[in-house]
């Protein structure tokens, strides 16, 4: 197993309101680092508080970090719930090293829907900040200064999260709010998205410059490194969105297709769900043996199978058997492939080579999947 594939994996930890919640493995490193930094501060004496013991410091560090990330989860859940209210299916919520994101299955239908989904996240963060401020006020009244310090961090963290996300550049929430305004004013989603993604790249550049400044002038190397990483993350996301909406994406299936990970026709459905889906989160799978396409298995079709039959049913019994509308060649124009996926009911296509061998797999939205994300 390659190290790169391992560190980019995610683990499913919960299902909230029917939405899968996953955590990037690298998130655990950030969680541990954050807990250590907070514990170290409390151990040495946080603000005007007396130094605490090692045990108390670590408990405070873990609890505070957990509350911070629960706030981030609440931020993303707000996006997801409003998205569901707008009739948009939510693929998942992911916590990653730079925060979180709620993946939407498709774009909103109107500027109003886009605005409501985008503003829900910062609004929730402001609410969390107010609640934390009320708690720290009560704690101060009862001389619970450690509790006061914990919720001071929570209040400040959520306030910063809300303000930062309101910056008017994609993929930040403020960028999506601005996109809703430009979309409403100009009536053109594509043009609005290009504009806010340019702003997003500009903001990313400012964040990187800030990181360099903190390293050179303030010797704050941790903050500098974090700022640079966040800036590069935002720049890459904004650039990808700009390219996708500028018509510079893939032109043929061969340029857009993914690796042809397939399942055997004789695979039990229970094995697919228990051992394959956790590692390969796809809406559909090519079914093949010795690189010969037998059909396509759609998870939407799989949902119709009763749970008690999973251990007796094999993939070949629920797949869509191979047919002309389920495969294309690599040189097929991407527009033709997209139209075919809309009609075939599977939302996916096997890609076969000149000798009929499976060489790739294409799913709807694969070319522009990054443009269907809401998050930071």
The percent of residues above 90 in pLDDT, for the chain, comes to 42
Instruction: Choose between 252 and 321: higher pLDDT.
Output: 321
Q: Is the pLDDT of residue 2 over 50?
A: no
pLDDT of 242:
77
- In this prediction, residues 72-86 reach a mean pLDDT of 94
Task: Please give the pLDDT value at position 239.
Answer: 83
Mean pLDDT of the chain: 85
Here the tokens at position 47 are 């603000």
Structure confidence at residue 97 (pLDDT): 80
pLDDT value, residue 150: 93
What integer pLDDT is reported at residue 32 of this predicted model?
A: 93
The pLDDT, as a whole number, for residue 349 is: 92
φ/ψ region of 88 (left if φ > 0, alpha if ψ in -120 to 50, else beta) reads beta
Average of pLDDT values for 311-315? 92
**What average pLDDT does range 106-120 have in this prediction?**
91
Give the global pTM. Answer: 0.66
- Which long-range CB contacts under 8 A does 64-69 form with residues at least 24 apart? 64/35, 64/38, 64/150, 64/153, 64/154, 65/31, 65/34, 65/35, 65/38, 67/150, 67/154, 68/34, 68/153, 68/154, 68/157, 69/27, 69/31, 69/95
- Using the predicted structure, report yes or no on whether residue 373 has a pLDDT greater than 50: no
- Mean pLDDT throughout 207-231? 86
**Angle formed by the axes of helices 173-186 and 111-141, nearest 10°:** 150
pLDDT band at 366; cut points 50, 70, 90: low
Confidence of residue 376 (pLDDT cuts 50, 70, 90): very low
Percent with pLDDT over 70 in the chain: 91
- Is the pLDDT score of 367 beyond 60? no
Give residue-wise pLDDT tens across range 242-297.
776 665 556 788 877 877 778 999 999 988 887 787 767 678 899 999 889 999 99
The residues facing 361 across adjacent strands are 258, 350
Question: Which tens digit of pLDDT belongs to each residue from 59-69?
Answer: 999 999 999 99
Give residue limits of the domains in the chain: 3-166, 253-369
Which CATH number fits the domain 253-369, given the four candidates 3.10.580.10, 3.30.70.1450, 3.40.50.300, 3.30.70.270? 3.10.580.10
CA 53 to chain centre: 38
Provide the pLDDT confidence category of residue 187 given band limits of 50, 70 and 90. confident
Mean pLDDT for the stretch of residues 9-31: 86
Mean pLDDT of 342-366: 84
* Cα gap 202→170, rounded to integer Å: 10
């Amino acid at each position: 197993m390659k190290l790169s594939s391992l560190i980019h994996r995610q683990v499913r930890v919960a299902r909230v309101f029917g939405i899968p919640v996953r955590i990037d493995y690298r998130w655990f490193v950030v969680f541990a680092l954050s807990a250590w930094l907070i514990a170290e501060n409390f151990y040495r004496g946080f603000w005007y508080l007396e130094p605490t013991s090692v045990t108390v410091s670590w408990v405070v560090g873990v609890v505070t970090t957990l509350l911070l990330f629960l706030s981030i989860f609440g931020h993303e859940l707000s996006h997801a719930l409003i998205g569901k209210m707008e009739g948009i299916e939510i693929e998942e919520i992911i916590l990653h090293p730079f925060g979180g994101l709620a993946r939407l299955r498709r774009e909103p239908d109107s500027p109003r829907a886009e605005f409501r989904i985008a503003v829900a996240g910062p609004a929730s963060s402001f609410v969390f900040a107010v609640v934390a401020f009320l708690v720290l006020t009560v704690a101060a009244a009862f001389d619970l200064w450690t509790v006061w310090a914990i919720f001071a961090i929570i209040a400040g963290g959520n306030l910063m999260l809300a303000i930062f996300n309101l910056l008017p550049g994609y993929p930040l929430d403020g960028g999506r709010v601005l996109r809703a305004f430009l979309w409403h004013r100009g009536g053109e989603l594509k043009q609005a998205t290009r504009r806010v993604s340019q702003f997003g790249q500009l903001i990313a550049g400012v964040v990187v410059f800030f990181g360099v400044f903190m390293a050179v002038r303030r010797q704050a190397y941790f903050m500098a490194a974090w700022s640079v990483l966040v800036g590069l993350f935002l720049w890459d996301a904004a650039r990808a969105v700009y390219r996708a909406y500028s018509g510079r994406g893939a032109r043929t299936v061969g340029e857009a297709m993914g690796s042809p990970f397939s399942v055997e026709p004789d695979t039990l459905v229970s094995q697919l769900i228990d051992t394959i889906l956790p590692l390969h989160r796809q809406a559909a799978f090519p079914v093949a043996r010795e690189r010969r396409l037998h059909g396509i298995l759609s998870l939407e079709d799989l949902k119709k199978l009763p749970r008690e039959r999973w251990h007796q049913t094999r993939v070949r019994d629920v797949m869509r058997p191979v047919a002309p509308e389920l495969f294309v060649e690599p040189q097929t124009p991407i527009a033709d492939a997209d139209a075919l996926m809309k009609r075939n009911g599977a939302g996916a296509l096997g890609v076969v080579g000149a000798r009929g061998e499976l060489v790739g797999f294409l799913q709807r939205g694969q070319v522009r999947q990054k443009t269907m994300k809401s998050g930071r």
